[in-house]
Amino acid sequence: FFFKPGLPYALNQAGLPLGLLLLIAVGLITDYSIILLIKGGNLSGTNSYQSLVQSTFGFPGFLVISGLQFLYPFIAMISYNITTGDTLTKVFQRIPGVGPDHILAERHFVIFLSTLAFTLPLSLYRNIEKLGKVSFLSMVLTLTILIIVIIRAATLETQILPTETAWAFAKWNAIQAVGVMSFAFICHHNSFLIYGSLEQPTLANWSRVTHVSVGSALIISAAFAVAGYTSFTGYTQGDIFENYCRNDNLATFGRFCFGLSIITTFPLECFVTRELSANVICSRDLSKAEHVAITLLIVAVCTSLSLAYDCLGVVLELNGVLSATPLIFILPSACFLKLSSGPLFQVENLIPTLLIITGLFVIITGLTMTGLYPQDCSHGAEMFYCADANVTATAPPV
């Protein structure tokens, strides 16, 4: 689980009560599908997500899972760059002498600078173990950010009055929220690795580990989403840190923590995309020159796309419906159904069948709505209620 700044935005899309129900549902489905994935691995005698799908559906299955597993971290890297540009520019503007017109307040320059100085050099590592401390650092930063968002939820409540439909049970674009939530929960690509690391890799032990892990992630996600949404209600952006005012020092520290976590997590996603590229294209270990060339290509394409487009909410939605939803809802269920002996509509096969239908509905509806009704975003602009910290904001200026 990695902290996702779009969860409050998902509640803004779905409505607070329905959004919480959907968040719990996605968490429960994630928990179930991770266990289902290992069940499928045991039935097929495989020890990775890729090999499970390949053994079940042959070479076409291998191409599909490889494409999805490439697409998820690839789009994630684009979203990380977008967030870096939005977040660190406001951090730099707290430096004396750095104003809105300064080069350090220009998102394109900040993304380019962070790529050259940090993410690209870290991404060039060949051994992922050298980045192993990132997981612990991300956990510490996640808890720090959560505390900051909760504190701000308590202190901003009287300054920014709720929007007209702030407490509506449901909103019409709730399906788009499912994509963002799926993006926040997906962790299936690491499941077999963690399962194999257990002292006693049994399905019972794996189920306990999964329940604790997903349950913890769900609690943190729900707390963060509710705290962020209740602070800004209908004004909530795809990146919650876009909502905080530039002169908010506590939020600035939160932005710094988030920017740091992104810079150190980007290389992990790059490692996945590079390894998948090597497996599909080369089917062998990369030479040093090939390693550098593919890394440069991946980072260059991600950086170019993040420089060209800066609306994080839409990127999160697309990654959720295009890659996370198939990887969580559809493929584990489809593999289990094909490997399972017995009629399709027996009790054990009923839930996987429903998950496939639900996943297809989320993908089709989510893509349609994202295309027809793209959500607006602030693009790094200061929110209207920041104009005067002493005035209670009730509505944006006309």
305, pLDDT greater than 90: yes
Q: Is the pTM of this model over 0.95?
A: no
What's the rounded Cα separation, in Å, for the pair 262 and 81? 8
The model's pLDDT over 211-221, given as tens digits with 9 standing for 90+, comes to 999 999 999 99
Look at residue 377 in the predicted model and tell me its pLDDT. 63
Look at residue 398 in the predicted model and tell me its pLDDT. 39
391, pLDDT greater than 50: no
What's the rounded Cα separation, in Å, for the pair 33 and 6? 23
Look at residue 303 in the predicted model and tell me its pLDDT. 94
H-helix segments, the chain: 7-14, 16-44, 49-92, 107-114, 120-123, 134-156, 174-185, 191-197, 203-232, 249-277, 288-308, 312-319, 325, 331-339, 347-372
Place of tokens 């406001």: 90
Q: Which amino acid is at 254?
A: G
Of 50-54, 255-259, 282-286, 300-304, minimum mean pLDDT range: 282-286
Token representation of residue 127: 């051994």
CA–CA distance from 56 to each of 87, 164, 339 (Å)?
43, 50, 7
What's the rounded Cα separation, in Å, for the pair 106 and 120? 20
What average pLDDT does this structure show over 346-369? 90
Mean pLDDT of the chain: 86
CA of residue 365 relative to chain centroid, distance: 20
Q: Which amino acid is at 263?
A: I
Q: Which residues, listed in sequence order, are joined to residue 160 by a DSSP beta bridge? A: 393
Better pLDDT: 302 or 380: 302
Of 50-59, 118-127, 292-301, 366-375, minimum mean pLDDT range: 366-375
Answer for the pair 311, 317: CB distance below 8 angstroms, yes or no: no
Taking the alpha carbons at both ends of the chain, their separation in whole angstroms is 40
Look at residue 376 in the predicted model and tell me its pLDDT. 64
393, pLDDT greater than 50: no
What's the rounded Cα separation, in Å, for the pair 119 and 132? 15
For residue 191, what pLDDT band results from cuts at 50, 70 and 90?
confident
Token representation of residue 270: 């790059």
Better pLDDT: 125 or 55: 55
User: Burial level of 5, CB count in 10 A (0-12/13-18/19+)?
Assistant: buried
Q: Which residues of 293-310 are buried (b: 16+ CB within 10 A; e: fewer)?
A: ebbeebbeebbebbbeeb
Q: Which amino acid is at 342?
A: G
What average pLDDT does this structure show over 378-389? 69
Token representation of residue 179: 């994509």
Token representation of residue 240: 């919650």
Better pLDDT: 218 or 6: 218
Q: CA gyration radius for the chain?
A: 21
What's the rounded Cα separation, in Å, for the pair 84 and 77? 10
CA of residue 263 relative to chain centroid, distance: 15
Q: Which amino acid is at 220?
A: I
Look at residue 277 in the predicted model and tell me its pLDDT. 83
Q: Mapping DSSP to helix (H, G, I), strand (E, B) and coil, where does residue 393 land?
A: strand
Angle at 312 between CA 311 and CA 316, to 5 degrees: 130
What DSSP designation does 242 have? G
The model's pLDDT over 85-115, given as tens digits with 9 standing for 90+, comes to 888 998 998 999 888 889 998 989 999 999 9
Look at residue 142 in the predicted model and tell me its pLDDT. 83
What average pLDDT does this structure show over 200-219? 93
The model's pLDDT over 43-90, given as tens digits with 9 standing for 90+, comes to 999 988 989 999 999 999 999 999 998 999 999 999 999 889 888 998
If one counts every other C-beta atom within 10 angstroms of the C-beta of residue 315, the result is 26
Angle at 201 between CA 197 and CA 206, to 5 degrees: 95
Answer for the pair 148, 254: CB distance below 8 angstroms, yes or no: yes
If one counts every other C-beta atom within 10 angstroms of the C-beta of residue 267, the result is 24
The model's pLDDT over 138-155, given as tens digits with 9 standing for 90+, comes to 778 888 999 999 999 988
If one counts every other C-beta atom within 10 angstroms of the C-beta of residue 224, the result is 23
Domains of the chain: 7-386 (1.20.1740.10)
